[in-house]
Amino acid sequence: MKLVAEPMELPSGPITCGHAKRFQEAVASYIAQVWMKGIAEHQVVSSSSSICNLLQADLARVSIRELNSALS
C-alpha cells in the first residue's frame, strides 16, 4: 500500500479515476494506520458497525491535508 504524501483537494469538476484512486489509497492508508495503532482494537468484540461508526466519525473530523501529513 502506497502512502499518499501530497495534499489532496476536492476538484471543482468531475472526479477522475486518478483522483478517486489517490483518495482511495489515502483512506486505506488511514484505516490501516488507525487499525495498527489499536484505536479500533477494542471495538472488535462489539458489533462491526461500531468500527464503521468510529472510522466514519474520525474521518469526518480529519481534513485531507491533516490526513496526508499524518501519513508522511
- CB-based contacts of 71: which residues, under 8 Å, 6+ apart? 3, 4, 5, 26, 29, 30, 33
Residues 10 and 67: beta-carbon distance below 8 Å? no
In this structure, how many other beta carbons lie within 10 angstroms of the beta carbon of residue 2? 10
Please say if the pLDDT value at position 13 is more than 60: yes
Distance CA 28, CA 14 (A): 22
Residue 1: what pLDDT? Answer: 47
Interval 49-63: pLDDT, tens: 555 555 555 555 555
DSSP state letter for 38: T
- With 0.75 as the threshold, say if the pTM is over it: no
Residue 4: what pLDDT? Answer: 47
Interval 20-47: pLDDT, tens: 887 788 778 877 777 776 665 555 555 5
